[in-house]
Structure 1
Amino acid sequence: MLFRKEVLAAKSARDIGPVVVISPIPLQVVAITAFIVFITIILFAYFASYTKKATLPGFIFPKDGIIKVYAPQPSRVIKLLTHEGAQVNKGDLLYILNRESSSQLGQTDILVRTELENQHSRMADNHINLTNQLLAIENNLKNQIEESDKTRSILNKKIIIQKKKIALLLEKQTRFKEMHKSGYVSNQELDDNQLVVLSEQTNLDTLYLEEKSLDKQRLDAISYKNEQTASYKDRINQLENTISEVKNQLVRNESNENSYIYAPISGTATSILSQVGQYVDASKPLLVVIPEHEPLVAFLYATSKSVGFIKQNDSVRIRYKSFPYEKFGQYTGTVTHISKTAMSLNDAVDFNIPASNASEGLYKVTISLDKQYVNTYGKKTALVSGMEIDADVYLETRRLYEWVLDPLYSITGRI
């Protein structure tokens, strides 16, 4: 019994502490939380939307395109009178070219020249004949119209006289009726006078018909004259253009004089490909003239995979590679036209697109720019033709649940 209290105290000590009972989360709280999360997901899927877009490369060009200037025939450049970026006016001299052909015409050139001279002679004779025919037709119809006017004047006088005559007969008829009542005029005399009135009225109607007929003939003659004049003048103009072309061919054929290349429009000279001393031909342009005051548009090229979803009036976000969008932002535009056929290789060259890419089937998409400039450091910097761009075309906007159910829509054929 010596250590009984101590032993009992040691046995009653507990090192692990008291027992704690943890209650689980109530099932109602879990259900309510899950329901709220589910409803949130449903509402988000219904009200939230996503816009599908296609990113397309492209370039900036004038709305009506650029003007390429070609050499009329194989030549050598002996003088270049402009430079890259120069402003040129319509008719300004750009190039002087030299044919560098032999001073003695070969047999083939002689035959060609003879044929051209024969053509020129025949066309000149034809021009004289057409001019004489036109003058004869105009004089003939002019005489017809003048005769018609004279006849019309005489007819007007006859109508005036006939009206006066009928007026007198009607007055006489009135007097006869009064005298008939008094017994001074017989029934026969009254009827005879009435017949005379009717006869003269018929004559007046005949004059009116002649007047209408003359007016119609005059209008027909004028119309025919105008038609013939327009037709002959058109033929004469076409013949004069052909004669002018034949003359130019004669000049080019019979001499090796210089060719002078002039600016076809006013604008900016660029892409100068031919320098002094180089040989050129009609297959490649000498330079390009960008029209002045012509609004710029964006030309994008889309693959056959993406072009089917692009529509007119789709919104576009444009990034100019010359102006990093991280610093200068993006700009907006609108789709105005989508080509129905794939680009040709020539179009690919205009777009600076490699022929290998063009062979894949690319379609040109025209974009109207909302702004013709870029805001750079507080000032407006004008866009320049030829700038390379990337653009996001916003194709369609749907709610999230519609995108999720898109495979099902594809099967059922409903959207």
Structure 2
Amino acid sequence: MSNSNPLFRPEVTAALGSQWMGSIRLAQPASASLIAIVAMLIAAALIAYITFGSITKKARVTGITVPVGGQLSVAAPNAGILLNTHVKEGELVKAGQVLFTISTERQNSQGEITALVAQQLATRADSLAAEQRLRQTQYQEKKLALSQRLANLEQEYSQLEQELALSLRRQQLAQQSVSKFETLQGNGYVSAAQTQQKQEDLIDISTRLSTLQRNKTQLQANKIALQDELNTLANTLATDLTQIDRAKASLKQEVAENANRQSSQITAPQAGTVTALTNQNGQAINAGQVLASLIPSDTKGNVDKSKDDQTSAQTAGLLEVHLYVPSRTAGFIQPGQQVLIRYAAFPYQKFGLHTATVTDVSRTPFAPSELPPHLASTILSNAQQAINGFNSNEALYRVRVKLDEQSIQAYGQPQAIKPGMTLEADVLQDSRKIWEWVLEPVLAMTQHA
């Protein structure tokens, strides 16, 4: 083969000449393979999370703990000075037990007005008592006089009947005499003048008999009139005594009202635990001012005041949570949904979340003015802090929540939940797969197509 026509191209010869130190190999470290494997595992985990994972929609709301049976406010019926507080914070009381004594005394130039009025009322009471005794004495005297007159009439009536009997007998005899004289006159034994005399005697006896019968009728009428007068006298006395009793009852009412103006006692409307005592003895009290709150309980009979606070809380009744939510949140809240609670007094970072269950949702919202007076400011303030875009004039729906536990484990000891504790809660609502949330717009379009 000639030199002009080499067997290999010059480029091949040049390439072979440059590799005299060996072929080029690219090194791949083990870290690159590890990174690729980890990336594949992360991608697989992300795909599995999107496929099988789910997200639960939560409604964040605020609320407060309240007794299941409600909470009563004990208010002052009128203005005055708080003289004495007969109970202590957390004490169990019975229905009708005296809680507070309020002084309502008023002074003028002559002294304390209530005392002066009490003196006048006492004078009126004495006057009514004297009048009652006088009416009863007058009734006894009149009754005695009428009874004596009636007895005299009875005796006179008896004598008159005897006279009538004798007059009738005399009339019969005179009639027989007239008949005999008329027979004798017809036979010529007596004169006509003698017969006429006997007839005149018969007329006199008949006239006397008629007079006696008229007197008997008058006596009967007098007896009836006296008996009616006796009955009327008894009815008049009963009427007078009734009026006096009515006046005495009205006077007793005035006495009680006057005593109440001097000092009044406020009693417990029912058995329960007294809380929220904020006023001190000697402090001025306005009419309608709340002096304490009463948590009703089912405890009956005597109350053992030596029990500890935990036992008192248990006997005072269970607690529940009232959540107040705006309309944009209340639409999907339903009974039976789970609730996760974070108490302000027990930070969830340290004491965790606490479970509960929705039991009821109000059908109509509560205006801010319709919220419980002693809780309204707290509820609205918490709602403004926890709910974005909340308007303090917005109406709120009330959601009642049943607590799974009535106490919290804090540092190994159970701490009882107390009424009035503020809290935040997450109401667990709709739960969906992650891919459903991602593809929700596409699925919505498919359903509408």
Q: What is the TM-score of this pair, normalised by structure 2?
A: 0.49
| Alignment CA distance shift 1:313-1:104 (3 Å) | same
Aligned with residue 369 of structure 2, among 341, 345, 352: 345
| Residues in 2 aligned to 1:247 and 1:362: alpha-carbon distance in whole angstroms | 50
User: Unpaired runs of 5+ in structure 2?
Assistant: 1-15, 29-38, 122-248, 298-314, 385-391
Aligned to 2:285: 280
What are the residue-to-residue correspondences of 1:39-50 with 2, within 5 Å? 44-50=49-55
| Alignment CA distance shift 1:283-1:354 (3 Å) | farther
**2:337 matches 1:314:** yes
Q: What is the TM-score of this pair, normalised by structure 1?
A: 0.53
Q: Give the partner amino acid of 2:371.
A: D
| Alignment CA distance shift 1:410-1:86 (3 Å) | farther
Q: Give the partner amino acid of 2:59.
A: A
Aligned length: 258
| Residues in 1 aligned to 2:352 and 2:432: alpha-carbon distance in whole angstroms | 26
| Alignment CA distance shift 1:245-1:286 (3 Å) | farther
Q: In structure 1, the residue corresponding to 2:371 is in which secondary structure?
A: helix
Residue 57 (structure 1) shift: 2.0
Q: In structure 2, the residue corresponding to 1:359 is in which secondary structure?
A: coil
**2:405 matches 1:400:** no
Q: In structure 2, the residue corresponding to 1:256 is in which secondary structure?
A: helix
CA contact (8 A) 2:64 2:379 kept: no
Aligned to 1:67: 72
| Residues in 1 aligned to 2:62 and 2:22: alpha-carbon distance in whole angstroms | 74
CA contact (8 A) 2:77 2:288 kept: no
Identity %: 32
| Alignment CA distance shift 1:72-1:412 (3 Å) | farther
**2:90 matches 1:56:** no
Residue 303 (structure 1) shift: 2.3
CA contact (8 A) 2:103 2:262 kept: yes
Aligned to 1:207: none
Deviations 1:202-241 (A, max 9, x none): xxxxxxxxxxxxxxxxxxxxxxxxxxxxxxxxxxxxxxxx
Q: In structure 2, the residue corresponding to 1:327 is in which secondary structure?
A: helix
**2:391 matches 1:371:** no
Aligned to 2:268: 263
CA contact (8 A) 1:58 1:388 kept: yes
Residue 82 (structure 1) shift: 2.0
Aligned to 2:188: none
Residue 411 (structure 1) shift: 6.4
Q: Give the partner amino acid of 1:353.
A: T
**2:396 matches 1:362:** yes
What are the residue-to-residue correspondences of 1:292-331 with 2, within 5 Å? 292=297, 293=315, 294-331=317-354
Q: In structure 2, the residue corresponding to 1:72 is in which secondary structure?
A: coil
Residue 396 (structure 1) shift: 1.1
Q: In structure 2, the residue corresponding to 1:56 is in which secondary structure?
A: strand
| Residues in 1 aligned to 2:345 and 2:92: alpha-carbon distance in whole angstroms | 22
Deviations 1:243-276 (A, max 9, x none): x999868843686221101122222221123322
| Residues in 2 aligned to 1:248 and 1:317: alpha-carbon distance in whole angstroms | 56
Deviations 1:178-208 (A, max 9, x none): xxxxxxxxxxxxxxxxxxxxxxxxxxxxxxx
Q: Which moved more, 1:62-71 or 1:395-404?
A: 395-404
Residue 331 (structure 1) shift: 1.7
Aligned with residue 84 of structure 1, among 89, 94, 98: 89
CA contact (8 A) 2:83 2:281 kept: yes
Which of structures 1 and 2 has the bigger CA Rg? 2
| Residues in 2 aligned to 1:100 and 1:399: alpha-carbon distance in whole angstroms | 73
| Alignment CA distance shift 1:413-1:377 (3 Å) | same
| Alignment CA distance shift 1:43-1:376 (3 Å) | closer
CA contact (8 A) 1:304 1:363 kept: yes
Aligned to 2:177: none
| Alignment CA distance shift 1:384-1:354 (3 Å) | closer
| Residues in 2 aligned to 1:391 and 1:375: alpha-carbon distance in whole angstroms | 19
| Residues in 2 aligned to 1:411 and 1:280: alpha-carbon distance in whole angstroms | 66
Residue 400 (structure 1) shift: 1.5
For the aligned residue pairs, the C-alpha RMSD in angstroms reads 4.0
| Alignment CA distance shift 1:15-1:268 (3 Å) | farther
| Alignment CA distance shift 1:88-1:408 (3 Å) | farther
Residue 47 (structure 1) shift: 2.8
Aligned to 1:201: none
Q: Give the partner amino acid of 2:366.
A: A
Q: In structure 2, the residue corresponding to 1:350 is in which secondary structure?
A: coil
| Residues in 2 aligned to 1:320 and 1:255: alpha-carbon distance in whole angstroms | 45
| Residues in 1 aligned to 2:48 and 2:399: alpha-carbon distance in whole angstroms | 37
